[in-house]
Amino acid sequence: MAETVRTIVVRRDVLADVNADAAAERVRMAKRGTLVVHLVSSPGSGKTTLLEATARRFAGRRRIAVLVGDIETDRDARRLGPLAPTVQLTTGGACHLEFPLVRRGIDALGDGPLEYLFIENVGNLVCPASHDLGEHLRVVLISVTEGDDKPGKYPKMFRTSRLMLVSKCDLLPHVPFSMDRVAEDARRIQPDLDLIAVAALDGTGMESWCDYLERERDRLVGD
């Protein structure tokens, strides 16, 4: 039997409604005084470790909550849950978060006052770049063990981010990684990209990162 192939032409952006919802949520969060920070990186670059250290630093000073995306497990949520209100978003196989799932996480957190909502995406330096999660600030982590050539190889993630955190910088003496090279490569793609070097495990750069968050919150959300 001959197979029939049909082409369906979609004459509108299929993500348009989702993107409009994400944009509306960004406005709503700003009115609540909540800065929404979206963390993206390759698997294992240190997103959860950074959030653990951030939660400890802000403890008693700032109200934070976390939505954490994972393909399969709740391992990161179990790490973060003791430190901050955390909702696990399990994608069930999808390699990135999309706004409708984030919306469910926001609903699950409730409407209590929050200074920061962090969203940790699934570890993936490609697909998350294409999805607006309603964030005010997109932050890309690149760890020194990944190599300083990654911005040029995964440009969309760096083009759509506001800040690049170079993580695990305590390991710099042990790996061939040039801070100058990674900065130059990333800024060729996104000239306005900010850069902070951190090592969440030993606390290096954590003060600069938290100060940066406070400044961005003042700038983007206000009180």
Ligand X SMILES: Nc1nc2c(ncn2[C@@H]2O[C@H](COP(=O)(O)OP(=O)(O)OP(=O)(O)O)[C@@H](O)[C@H]2O)c(=O)[nH]1
Q: Which residues bind Mg ion (CB under 5 A)?
A: 47-48, 76
CA of 70: how far to CAs of 74, 120, 183, 198, in Å?
7, 9, 29, 23
If the CB atoms of residues 15 and 201 are measured against ligand X, the closer one turns out to be: 201
Among 22, 37, 38, 76, binds ligand X (CB under 6 A): 76
Q: At its nearest, how many Å lie between ligand X and the CB of residue 78?
A: 12
If the CB atoms of residues 43 and 222 are measured against ligand X, the closer one turns out to be: 43
* Pairing, β 86-90 against β 116-120: unpaired
46 binds, among ligand X, Mg ion, none (CB under 5 to 8 A by kind): ligand X
- Nearest alpha-carbon partner for 140 in 176, 190, 181, 104: 190
Binding-residue pattern over the window 131 to 160 for ligand X, x denoting contact by CB under 6 A: ------------------------------
Among 34, 54, 167, 190, binds ligand X (CB under 6 A): 167
Among 34, 46, 54, 160, binds ligand X (CB under 6 A): 46
168 interacts with ligand X by CB under 6 A: yes
- Nearest alpha-carbon partner for 85 in 116, 121, 45: 116
122-153 burial, b if ≥16 CB within 10 A, otherwise e?
A: bbbbebbbebbbbbbbbbbbbbbbbebebbee
88 interacts with ligand X by CB under 6 A: no
Stretch touching ligand X by CB under 6 A, among 42-50, 99-107, 147-155, 181-189: 42-50
How many residues belong to the site for ligand X (CB under 6 A)?
17
- Name all contacts of 90-93 with Cβ < 8 Å and 24+ positions apart: 91/122
